[in-house]
Amino acid sequence: MTVLVDTGVLVAFHNTRDLNHDAATRLVKSIAGGEMGPAYTTDYVFDEAVTVALTRTGRPDLAVSLGRFILGQGTPPFMEMVNIDDETFARAWTLFTRHSQRGLSFTDCASLATMETMRIERIASFDTDFDGITSRTA
């Protein structure tokens, strides 16, 4: 099994005041422990996660700490970051034109395109907009 880690899980794990913090902590520990196989995220998720962390909390220190965590700086990395290339970007745009009415962001569609390209089986996410499109673990 393989898993792509979504923005909400990363932000909730790092923000103790987030409503999903406890669930995110269990999920990240499971992923880091290898229970879901190799784990990935994308540079678009990184961008979204540090931005959301900053805007929701107003705390630059938390956003920087989250960025360092995702990059594996100061902690052992447990996921690989995938950079969105031109082909994946084009596929993400196609998916966005098809699924944006469901509430999926372009970053969400870039995650889906990455999952297709790399044959990643599940997404670790609290975003129910993925339901019916891909397998989701929350």
User: What CATH number corresponds to the domain at position 18?
Assistant: 3.40.50.1010
Note whether residue 93 is domain-resident: no
Note whether residue 110 is domain-resident: no
**Whether the Cβ atoms of residue 45 and residue 88 lie closer than 8 Å to each other:** no
Note whether residue 88 is domain-resident: no
Predicted pLDDT of residue 46? 98
Note whether residue 90 is domain-resident: no
Residue 47 structural domain: 3-83+120-137
Instruction: Return all residues near 56 (Cβ < 8 A) that are at least 6 apart.
Output: 11, 15
Which residues, in sequence order, are bridge partners of residue 135?
122
Note whether residue 101 is domain-resident: no
Q: What is the pLDDT of residues 66-124, one digit of tens each?
A: 999 999 997 778 899 999 999 999 999 999 999 888 999 999 999 999 999 999 999 99
Q: What is the pLDDT of residues 26-46, one digit of tens each?
A: 999 999 999 999 999 999 999
Predicted pLDDT of residue 78? 86
Overall number of domains in the chain: 1
